[in-house]
Structure 1
Amino acid sequence: MSDNANQTSISGGTVVTPTTEIENGTVTFSDGKIVSVEAESNGTHDIDATGKYVLPGLVDLHGDDIERHLFPRAGERVDTTIALDRCDIANASAGVTTKYHAISFEDVPDNHRSIELARRLAEHIRDFDHETGARIDNRLHMRCELTNEAAVDAVSQEIRSGGDLVSLVSHTSGRGQFAGENTLAQRYDRLDEELETSIQALETRRGSVSDTEIVSRARKITDSASSRNIPVASHDDETVASVSNAAAIGVDISEYPLSHRIAQRATELNLTVAMGAPNVVRGGSLWDGPDASQAIKDGVVDILCSDFRPQSLLRSVFIENRDSLKDRVLRVSTAPAAAAGLYDRGRLERGARADIIIIDPNPAPSIVRTYVAGQEVYCSA
């Protein structure tokens, strides 16, 4: 055991810091913060990490996976409190220590997404912390559908109530991720005549909103968020002009740009570029977007998000892509934390919050232990 009963030491593993990879290193933490990161084992430890990796906890700025816990199969709706708790457990076991739940403020025909549901989820997320049983730090990412005026009003209210991140979304037929042969209807496993009619009506309503009005609504959101130091992302930037316009109205993050050139332009504009970790793991986009691995090689990706699969963040760290392990770790920890304005975490350094994960690389990378602010919240043993 460590000399100080209030301290915990993890020794023997490969410790990954923002600047280096330390073989047989030791991380010591106390009272929720990292006390030291040493290049050698000090001979005493509480946790033996020999043969394993020690990384900062993962920071996920965009995770839709709460929806899968709410609606695990067609026709089934799980209680919100239970769904959020299950999602919390799943993320802790995936090494995610700070989670931005991407909640869609929009109305769709099957009611799996609605403004009313988004409001209820936002309230539950704000109230879900360590004292109420949360294992990880759960935060609110508000996805604002700009073609819906009621959604804009609802997100504006949530910003005032204390949201953590907002993204600007415009899901209209023929544009963005629904360009070409991609349609909203393809998102549904089963499509009967009534649902198809409802989808067509929704597409018509969304398409009737002018570009001028969408820009006006976007500016309303960015102005409100900026006044409260809440970062703003633009979702699915589809042209060089659109990402330039987003930067001009105060957007901070280009989330899932739809081409390599757009990601490059976002980088030139000093926007943080986010792409999907599942894209890296899979080896390409599901929706004809850019190959995230190639974009990383070309230096136009800053952070990776889990999208709908929290396990993909850890898996992406162990996919070699002509870059170092520390750089792959940075994209899922230090960089997203900084993009969100959370400078107290996302790195193994003295004084940082003790969000720490231990990974067994064999036979496939998996989480052995997860610590959040120095508290063990998951252990596979």
Structure 2
Amino acid sequence: MKNNANRTLISGGTVVTPTREIENGTVVFSDGKIVSVEAESHDSPDIDATGKYVLPGLVDLHGDDIERHLFPRAGERVNTTVALDRCDIANASAGVTTKYHAIAFEDIPDDNRSIELARRLAEHIRDFNYETGARIDNRLHMRCELTNETAVDAVSQEIQSGGDLVSLVSHIPGTGQFAGENTLTQRYNLPDGVSESSLQSLETRRNGVSDIELISRAREITELASDRNIPVASHDDETVSSVDNAAAIGVDISEYPLSHRVAQRATELNLSVAMGAPNVVRGGSLWDGPDASQAIRDGVVDILCSDFRPQSLLSSVFTETGDSLKDRVLRVSTVPAAAAGLYDRGRLECGARADVIVVDPDPVPSIARTYVAGDEVYCSA
């Protein structure tokens, strides 16, 4: 397959770099790094990408899909090692080469989310790398429920143990995506066996934390993360003032802002704005949030995340949003990598890490091959 032991040459496809789209281009990588991006094809490549697209590996800053592998149906719990391995395979086959597993540090009246489970998952993710069988770069995104002091303490400890991204979450009934009646049951998909008193207790606890205390906890987490060069996101920003507060304490990313105006304000404050790729592919939000495609057209979206469906990242690249293919690729590769402080990847340029995907557009865009640091980790054939 290769011209020599360490060199791979992919040629003939449409190569998408951060600055242009190259028809019949060539990408060459060796020893885990890209050594050449050329505006011409070669006659005898290792991989003939004719009729296909050659893109940088996708970078997903927020993916909850590990939960689907752990709990595939009500009452079933899969072994953590097995679930993480299956999730790893699924992401490699979706073209995701750097994955931030969004782990919820919160306690709810159900076994699917708890602080103890989050701790165990964090430990497994930190230990799941190339040497232990991982195909892609698996990283830890700690979702810190600020209304829970125990969660704040746990995330503080995880930051010191080695995390990769933190998001500040305040899931308070009656606000944001938890507005309206019966939203705790709807949003958490709680089983019928959960008592009304358990939900009421959760609601009381979350409503019982003052705004001053929430801001204090947010500042504590942000400062601790900043000391270790870990980026911080604010999650579900509901108002302009909430974004202002987030920027004031040093937050880097506004993740899933709940209105167009809030996204616009985050952009004005030079925060990176992240929305859901499923929103783009579906043509709208499931929870009455802003239309991500319209927000893209208005210039207030920098990053798309998979949320719960890793395949949506690739699909978003081939969903018309009124801009170029190059720009659609940037939102799922170069820009999220930079927002996370990973400047070694997310782009097809000389010297970058050889995270490369080959995409077959027919009958629907799908991954033909995935390379991570120059190693082929997935092949559809």
Q: Same fold (TM over 0.5)?
A: yes
What is the CA distance between 1:179 and its match in structure 2? 1.7
- Residue 89 of structure 2 is aligned to residue 98 of structure 1: no
Q: Which runs of 4+ in 1 moved over 2 A?
A: 1-6, 187-197
Find the aligned partners of 1:2 and 1:144 in 2 and give their Cα distance: 46
What is the CA distance between 1:3 and its match in structure 2? 5.2
CA RMSD after TM alignment:
1.1
Find the aligned partners of 1:163 and 1:326 in 2 and give their Cα distance: 31
* Counterpart mapping for 1:1-381 below 5 A: 4-181=4-181, 183-189=183-189, 191-192=191-192, 194-381=194-381
Q: Is the 8 A contact 1:2 1:44 kept in 2?
A: no
Deviations 1:103-155, CA, capped at 9 Å, x for gaps: 00000111211000000000000000000000000000000000000000000
What is the CA distance between 1:44 and its match in structure 2? 2.6
Instruction: Give, as a single letter, the amino acid of the residue that structure 1 aligns with 2:23.
Output: E
Quote the sequence identity (%). 84
Instruction: Give, as a single letter, the amino acid of the residue that structure 2 aligns with 1:9.
Output: L
Task: Identify if the C-alpha distance between structure 1 residues 182 and 229 changes in structure 2 by more than 3 Å, giving closer, same or farther.
Answer: farther
SS in 1 for 2:195: helix
Once the two structures are overlaid, the 10-residue window that deviates more, 185-194 or 195-204, is: 185-194
Find the aligned partners of 1:340 and 1:133 in 2 and give their Cα distance: 24
Deviations 1:235-254, CA, capped at 9 Å, x for gaps: 00000000000000010000
Segments of structure 1 that go 5 or more residues without pairing to the other structure are none
Q: Give the count of matched residue pairs.
A: 381
Find the aligned partners of 1:327 and 1:334 in 2 and give their Cα distance: 10
Deviations 1:87-116, CA, capped at 9 Å, x for gaps: 000000000000000000000111211000
TM-score by length of 1: 0.98
Instruction: Give, as a single letter, the amino acid of the residue that structure 1 aligns with 2:334.
Output: T
What is the CA distance between 1:199 and its match in structure 2? 1.4
What is the CA distance between 1:306 and its match in structure 2? 0.1
Find the aligned partners of 2:242 and 2:368 in 1 and give their Cα distance: 43
Q: Is the 8 A contact 1:58 1:332 kept in 2?
A: yes
Instruction: Give, as a single letter, the amino acid of the residue that structure 2 aligns with 1:21.
Output: E
SS in 2 for 1:75: coil
TM-score by length of 2: 0.98
Instruction: Give, as a single letter, the amino acid of the residue that structure 2 aligns with 1:23.
Output: E
Task: Identify if the C-alpha distance between structure 1 residues 133 and 5 changes in structure 2 by more than 3 Å, giving closer, same or farther.
Answer: closer
Q: Is the 8 A contact 1:168 1:234 kept in 2?
A: yes
SS in 2 for 1:184: helix
Find the aligned partners of 1:13 and 1:251 in 2 and give their Cα distance: 39
Deviations 1:149-183, CA, capped at 9 Å, x for gaps: 00000000000001000000000101111123571
